[in-house]
Structure 1
């Protein structure tokens, strides 16, 4: 990948270069479903270009940053939809939320961050997000057809609407089944960038051919839990001894990839793109090194077959310390 990757594309423990990274494979959502399913099964992910109307995604971005603007997070005089971080502020007052951010699922930041954190969590409950974006018919209809679940397609209410200020801590290495163990490993995650994300802008990255790696880690976890005398129910709440207290597998993506002899797959993203991935597909994010100081905004939407056992804890809206 000469010229595509540079030293500005970094993870927590170093750069991503042509030696340890490659590009995600994009897919046209209008390709035959059988071909898309084959790609999903082979790769563990499906990077769909423009499956959502771009203008609808940008409207959600505008609403989000307009709602957070009173906290001073945006550059003075800038259009909220651009989401440009205020260079006169410190990132410490604008922490991210979600698994792996600020030590897990607790409330991040101190007193100075209170207003921003309050609004970031309240945004999860706004109609322009819960109804207009999370329940968008273009994505729901695609998922229903792609999976074959049809009318049994269920959208989890619990989502993770994440902002990522430039130069702050990225998302650690994990797979989703860690957090949705109370259901079968048949759910599908849709990662939705809410706005354009440059290659260096903190987008999601996937460990190449890692669905099998995640399944092996999960199998090892189960074996250790059984050996330790845990019941099946206790094992669902226990963390693998190789995981961190946040549920992350590692905070060092470059080292993790080297240990497993695999590369990280990266991409720039556009508003309207969606990446579907399997429950054991290992992923993380890069450091947001956007040259224009753009805040990275994205969400994780999850879908399940309502006729099969699924993790019902995910049918409640996201709240801090909700035990998931």
Structure 2
């Protein structure tokens, strides 16, 4: 039973399915990957990054938060076990936005050859990494509206630049679906593209909702999920609708992930995304 923002997703075969991993035969074929990206709206690349590199950053992240009350007392920070007591939210925000987000460690992770080098290869051009890079952890047990990322497509937030920007979502550690990883609405980018072209959107962010089951019914489509492992990534179109599942892990493991965006440096760049991320920047 999967939920998002407290809404129970249908497990009917026409409403829930599995992400399709790009096969090994296509991983070095740029044309094949572009064809898959245009058709599916995403590339699910299993084992794309070195798991040790991902876990090293996970350890760095949670070690920085050791004095905020986030972590279970006596636990190894890399395990990301949530404490039961109160969290010093002010201290957490200070560390997250003043230390972790602008850190060299985070920049290195986001510009590693497996990310920056891969995007240069895919675009066959020089690339630009948007400075506004988002990293978040989600604690288990919260499941009301606003506790998980609601359904949306990224172009809603990137109107001032090219629409050919690609997002890459990186789970920073193993992320079975019980931890609340991303889920994608199958084929939704085709409908969104048509609505954008024809001006049929009911409002600027028409697809944004917490009610994933109703959105699947509206699109007559499936939410696609996976049990992600450290080293897996998902690259997706700015038009593909996606959301996060609720973290219902019984062992109180926090989900840690980051989503960042690359594009060709020669194309228009959204100027609003060229500052470090803070959750009050209204984007």
Q: Shared fold by TM > 0.5?
A: yes
Match of 2:61, SS state, is: helix
Q: What's 2:9 paired with?
A: 15
Counterparts of 2:59 and 2:123 in 1: how far apart (Å)? 31
State how 1:239-278 maps to structure 2 within 5 Å.
240=204, 243=206, 249-278=208-237
Structure 1 residue 147: deviation in Å?
1.9
Structure 1 residue 138: deviation in Å?
1.6
Q: 2:33 aligns with which of 31, 36, 40?
A: 36
Cα 1:76–1:217 shift into 2, 3 Å:
farther
Q: Is 1:178 aligned to residue 152 of structure 2?
A: no
Counterparts of 1:217 and 1:271 in 2: how far apart (Å)? 36
User: Unaligned regions of 5+ residues in structure 1, if any?
Assistant: 1-6, 94-111, 226-238
List per-residue Cα deviations over 1:46-98 (Å, max 9, x = no partner).
Answer: 00112111111111100000001111111111111110111x225xx4xxxxx
Cα 1:175–1:224 shift into 2, 3 Å:
closer
Q: 1:24 aligns with which of 15, 19, 23?
A: 19
Q: What's 1:201 paired with?
A: 179
List per-residue Cα deviations over 1:82-133 (Å, max 9, x = no partner).
Answer: 10111x225xx4xxxxxxxxxxxxxxxxxx5211222222311111112x20
Q: What's 2:63 paired with?
A: 66
Structure 1 residue 290: deviation in Å?
1.5
Once superposed, what is the RMSD of the aligned Cα atoms? 1.9
Structure 1 residue 136: deviation in Å?
0.8
- Greater shift in the superposed pair: 312-321 or 167-176: 312-321
Match of 1:133, SS state, is: helix
Match of 2:253, SS state, is: coil
Counterparts of 2:10 and 2:53 in 1: how far apart (Å)? 32
Structure 1 residue 219: deviation in Å?
4.2
Give the TM-score, by structure 1 length. 0.80
Q: 2:106 aligns with which of 120, 125, 129?
A: 129
Q: What's 1:167 paired with?
A: 141
Alpha carbons 2:135, 2:258 under 8 Å: kept: yes
State how 1:51-200 maps to structure 2 within 5 Å.
51-86=48-83, 88-89=84-85, 93=87, 112-122=88-98, 123-130=100-107, 132-149=108-125, 152-168=126-142, 169-200=147-178
Counterparts of 2:60 and 2:168 in 1: how far apart (Å)? 21
Counterparts of 1:282 and 1:83 in 2: how far apart (Å)? 28
Counterparts of 2:123 and 2:136 in 1: how far apart (Å)? 26
Structure 1 residue 214: deviation in Å?
2.2
- Greater shift in the superposed pair: 290-299 or 25-34: 25-34
Counterparts of 2:62 and 2:168 in 1: how far apart (Å)? 22
Q: Which 4+ residue blocks in structure 1 deviate beyond 4 angstroms?
A: 222-225
Q: 1:45 aligns with which of 22, 42, 49?
A: 42
- Greater shift in the superposed pair: 16-25 or 198-207: 16-25
User: Unaligned regions of 5+ residues in structure 2, if any?
Assistant: none
Cα 1:134–1:224 shift into 2, 3 Å:
closer
Counterparts of 2:10 and 2:95 in 1: how far apart (Å)? 33
Counterparts of 1:224 and 1:16 in 2: how far apart (Å)? 26
Match of 1:57, SS state, is: helix
List per-residue Cα deviations over 1:171-197 (Å, max 9, x = no partner).
Answer: 100000000100120101011111110
